[in-house]
Amino acid sequence: MEINVSTNIKDVNTDNFMNDVIEASKEKPIIVDFWAPWCEPCKQLGPLLENAVKEQKENLTLAKIDIDQNQEIASQLRIQSIPTVYTFFEGKVVDGFQGSKTNSEILEFVKKSASLLGPGEEVENFMSMAKLAIEQRNWNESKEIAQKILDIDPENHVGFASLIKSMIGLNQFSDVRDITDALAIEIRESKPVTEALMSLEPSEKAFKAQENIEELEKKLEKNPENLDSLLEMAIAFYGKGEIAKSFELLLKSIDIDREWNDQAARKQLLEFFTSAGFEAVETIDARRKLASLLFS
């Protein structure tokens, strides 16, 4: 067996196939290139594939199998034409192709195979950092971190969710819609992204409402228990980022008349809980107070 010690590329044969492909794929993906010296398309594909996998040294290995020297393997895997490329992961074939491919198609195939291992340690660290920045509402910082996640892993669902939350926090509502419209359906409909988008409409509504905050303050001075004004003021406060004040006004409204306008204040509060995040300090405090009101 020939092993290129400087890269993640190795020659594999019948003797070590089980160990270096099947067993090794339980640790990380193994791309197997079935080729032969007489195969001209193989000579074109091989170098492109090798260059692509060199960039993924920590995430996968390329195993090259000469089918002339290893006909038993080719027969067992029913290799009928070459070049044939398979990705093995967790002991079985999970992806592959036959024939020639463009360089961009090969890069995409290798990237997809590498992603089977999940996000690397660097991405995991960035996701933790983004989560903390979002909880602290450091929107510029969380946006910057989200972009770093997507630079490393362009299809990372949490990265897109973090980016969307950050842009909503920065009141970049139309940009969020543009980004969302451009996303692949798989990403747009993923749980992290759909949850992030739930805050788009309530946040935009609140942002627009804050323009009338001075007028609303005057109304409340005249009638501190006017339920319409309390609701409008709560929405305006949320738009200004004064979440605790917003929640206090909604709780006050519920305390005055929880059934008013088909429980409008309670519904608005629950909507803002989702928008602010259930782990937010303000949400935790308001949920405790809401439970006390409803069950007292």
Known catalytic residues are 39, 42
Q: Are 223 and 193 in contact (CB under 8 A)?
A: no
- Three-class HEC string of the chain: CCEECCCCEEECCCCCHHHHHHHHHHCCCEEEEEECCCCHHHHHHHHHHHHHHHCCCCCCEEEEEECCCCHHHHHHCCCCCCCEEEEEECCEEEEEEECCCCHHHHHHHHHHHHHHHCCCHHHHHHHHHHHHHHHCCCHHHHHHHHHHHHHHCCCCHHHHHHHHHHHHHCCCHHHHHHHHHHCCHHHHCCHHHHHHHCCHHHHHHHHHHHHHHHHHHHHHHHCCCCHHHHHHHHHHHHHHCCHHHHHHHHHHHHHHCCCHHHHHHHHHHHHHHHHHCCCCHHHHHHHHHHHHHHHC
What is d(CA 19, CA 10) in angstroms, rounded to the nearest whole number? 13
Location of structure tokens 């950092």: 129
Q: Which residues pair with 65 in a beta bridge?
A: 34
In this structure, which amino acid lies at residue 137?
Answer: R
Q: Are 166 and 143 in contact (CB under 8 A)?
A: yes
